[in-house]
Amino acid sequence: MEAVKQEYASLESQSVSLKQLINSLTSEVDGHKTRIASIRNAHDQAQSELNLFRSKMKECDTQISCILRKQQELQHKISETNLERKKMENEVKRMEMEQKSCSLKVEKLIEKHAWITLEKHRFGRSGTDYDFASCDPHTAREDFEKLQAEQSGCVSEKPYLLEKRVNKKVMAMFEKSEDEYNDLISKKNIIENDKTKIKMVIEELDEKKKETLKVTWLKVNNDFGSMFSTLLPGTMAKLETPEGSTFLDGLEVCVAFGSVWKQSLSELSGGQRSLLALSLILALLLFKPAPLYILDEVDAALDLSHTQNIGRLIKTHFPHSQFIVVSLKEGMFNNANVLFRTKFVDGVSTVQRTVASKPNK
């Protein structure tokens, strides 16, 4: 009996453990079922997306095939267009050749028949003999040939009648007068053409003169202002056109001290007017610099500071020119490369040459 109870107890414990195992397996099965369901849902969603992508790919394939067809059509059109373009180019070349030949024929006709130049202004006008719209040139040519044939027939049949009617002297005089008239007309045309060419040359020279004068004005104006500011610091100067005029009519000199422009040059002192004139002259000379300049006591009426400014101006603005300056002031000597001093020694005039310690290179 004890053995049965123990066995029963062991079986019950085994049953409990089996139930727990079954429960855990059941929970695992449920978890797997849930995962399988989620996987199936994901699979269905992926399948639907795959079907959607396949449909889109079919649409893209259809569009690509349409584009390829259009491309082929366009290539066909391009080839046809290129062929047509080549035909048109050949046609243009042919027409250009015809135009050149027609131009040569027209030039020969003008040289041969002087009346064409005189009557050219009437060509194409209605109510005249040159109304080409109402008169067919081919028909007129046929009529002309018929009249020539009739005239030749009349001349061949009755030459003695024409000789009686026509005065040979008058005909000779008429032909001579006609040749002289044609010669005068050709000379007139030559003179008119030469006149037109001369007018064109004069206009071109006027334009070049205007451009050159404008460039000269701007260059001289810039140098003039710079030089005057160097000679008289704190001032400005410029060449301006008068009100209502252009630079071709003339220029006037304007001077400013600080920011105040003077109304007239009479407001300047004598020394200021001298510096202004010297600046303008040097600006004009700087436009086309010369290799050598001679200045004779340009600083005679100026004080020492202005004399020094003139020396600095010559050094800075004329680096490639030589200046021979006659001066009695020390301020000018300080900017010189070589000094020649004259003095009396025992009643004899002597010249002493001195080279500056730092020559201008």
Residue type, 97: M
pLDDT at 92: 93
- The per-residue pLDDT for range 49-81, each reduced to its tens digit, is 999 999 999 999 999 999 999 999 999 999 999
CATH architecture of 289-361: 3-Layer(aba) Sandwich (3.40)
Q: Choose between 280 and 152: higher pLDDT.
A: 280
Pairing type for strands 322-326 and 292-296 reads parallel
- The per-residue pLDDT for range 222-260, each reduced to its tens digit, is 988 888 888 888 888 988 888 888 888 888 888 898 888
pLDDT band at 164 (very low <50, low <70, confident <90, very high): low
Q: Three-class SS of residue 247?
A: coil
The residue ranges of every structural domain in the chain are 140-199, 289-361
Q: Are 207 and 199 in contact (CB under 8 A)?
A: no
> Any alpha helices (H) in 113-136, and if so which ranges?
115-119
| Tokens coding 180 | 């002289």
Contacting residues for 41 by C-beta, under 8 A, at least 6 apart: none
* CA distance linking residue 114 with residue 179, whole number of Å: 10
**N-to-C CA span, the chain:** 140
pTM of the entire predicted model = 0.44
- The per-residue pLDDT for range 111-134, each reduced to its tens digit, is 877 777 777 777 777 777 677 777
If phi > 0 it is left, if psi is from -120 to 50 it is alpha, else beta; for residue 244 that is left
Is the Cα dihedral 14, 16, 17, 21 positive or negative? positive
Q: Choose between 344 and 122: higher pLDDT.
A: 344
**Percent of the chain residues past pLDDT 70, beyond the cut:** 93
* CA distance linking residue 332 with residue 305, whole number of Å: 10
- The per-residue pLDDT for range 5-28, each reduced to its tens digit, is 888 888 888 888 888 889 889 989
Q: Choose between 126 and 268: higher pLDDT.
A: 268
* CA distance linking residue 309 with residue 303, whole number of Å: 10
What's the rounded mean pLDDT across residues 309-317?
83
Q: Choose between 150 and 234: higher pLDDT.
A: 234
- The per-residue pLDDT for range 167-223, each reduced to its tens digit, is 666 777 878 888 888 889 888 999 999 999 999 999 999 999 999 988 998 989 898
What's the rounded mean pLDDT across residues 309-336?
82
Task: Name the phi and psi angles at 301, rounded to 5.
Answer: -100, 15
pLDDT at 359: 47
* CA distance linking residue 302 with residue 283, whole number of Å: 20
Whether the predicted pLDDT of 361 surpasses 50? no
* CA distance linking residue 228 with residue 132, whole number of Å: 73
Average pLDDT value for the chain? 83
If phi > 0 it is left, if psi is from -120 to 50 it is alpha, else beta; for residue 246 that is beta
The DSSP 8-state label assigned to residue 80 in this structure reads H
